[in-house]
Amino acid sequence: MRSLRELLPEGAEITEKENSFIIHHDFAVKSSYRMNVVGMGDVGRTFLLASKLLGNDILSSIGIYDLNEDMLRRLEMEMGQIRAASGDMRFPEVRIIGEEDLFDADVFVFCATKRVPDVVAGEDPGDVRMAQFGANRPMIETYAEMAAARDYENMFFVVSDPVDPLAKAASLKMSMPERIQGCGLGVMNARAAYYAEKDPALRSYLEEGRAFGPHGEDLVIADSVKNYDEAASEKLTDLTIGSNIAMRNIGFKPYIAPAVSSGALTVTEALRGRWHYSSVYFGSGSNGAFLGVKNRLTVSGVEVEDLPLPDALFARIETAYMDLEAMI
């Protein structure tokens, strides 16, 4: 059996626990958080709506910023008109902010993206991910530099694709990789569960399965961490990765489930200190990568689930990690 902690650099400062380890940093646990979001495209708008509804107990306000001022005015009105008749349910206030206010917050969320060519059946998904990285990297680096200039030291969540290398790009500008999380693995877990529910041979995933790695190519789905079946796991991995193309083949852009499962659910669950899927930094300085794992935020740092892994499963995860490390 192998362990995820083997991927950490030699001498990494961690606290070992039974079936987990903590990567140290100080996290200011609060009863409510002020969150600011940049980018109000399809993903950003969906993330905003879901966060307003899902974050009523953990978010005090949501600041929104985009270059499209008419979209901002629309969203401020629309979000302000979501409330229950009884008045008993409290929702976070949604307000328009300026660029200078982006890092006056407890939580920053990057949802900005530039358009890349549509994915079509048969196209290499690796090429599309790299096109997205090339388009979105300058934007996230700009915001990371702004955060560093303003001494921002709170949580920085990356929702735009490809989340894992974009998180690494941001960390190189901010020198705070332990406070950055990439939000992409949540929807891959959700998609794996969706397909597992439809096939009795794959249903072990619902109780015993795990997801690892990036959002996209090199994803690792394990049908079970107790009784790992490589053939079943690879089948479920292929179905999960192919879900994007399946959605596009019926004529729709696959952004609703990612914006909710990887975005709003991941961020709100993380802030509550609950287990969730996101990518965290395995590395030191510029040497390392953001790897998607099950984890939670604690006052001591990021606690990473670390179950005993069969050699074959660990080998798949290690390959994904090495490929991510090589991207940037």
Can you give the CATH number for the domain in which 96 is found? 3.40.50.720
Tracing tokens 């879900």 back to the chain, one arrives at 243
Q: 106 in a domain, yes or no?
A: yes
Task: Judge whether residue 24 has pLDDT over 90.
Answer: no
Structure tokens at 167: 């998180």
Tracing tokens 């479920």 back to the chain, one arrives at 236
Task: Judge whether residue 315 has pLDDT over 80.
Answer: yes
pLDDT score for 46: 98
Helices of type H across 115-162: 125-149
Q: 193 in a domain, yes or no?
A: no
Q: 231 in a domain, yes or no?
A: no
C-alpha pair distances (Å), 3 with each of 209, 211, 247 = 16, 15, 35
State the chain's mean pLDDT as an integer.
94
H or E, element range at 268: helix 265-271
Give the chain's domain count.
1
Q: 51 in a domain, yes or no?
A: yes
Q: Is the peptide bond before 117 cis (omega within 30 degrees of 0)?
A: no
The span from the CA of 303 to the CA of 315, in Å, is: 22
Q: 12 in a domain, yes or no?
A: no
The span from the CA of 282 to the CA of 289, in Å, is: 6
Question: Do 4 and 295 touch, CB atoms closer than 8 A?
Answer: no
Contacts with 135 (C-beta within 8 Å, 6 or more apart), sequence order: 113, 114, 115, 116
pLDDT score for 28: 83
pLDDT score for 87: 76
Going 16 to 22 to 25 to 26, the CA torsion angle's sign is negative
- Where residue 121 falls among pLDDT bands split at 50, 70, 90? very low
Task: Judge whether residue 292 has pLDDT over 50.
Answer: yes
Q: 242 in a domain, yes or no?
A: no
Q: 151 in a domain, yes or no?
A: yes
pLDDT score for 120: 54
Q: Report the first-to-last Cα separation within the chain, whole angstroms.
A: 30
Classify residue 67 by its DSSP letter.
Answer: S
pLDDT score for 128: 66
Domain carrying residue 82: 26-186+250-327
Q: 7 in a domain, yes or no?
A: no
- Where residue 125 falls among pLDDT bands split at 50, 70, 90? very low
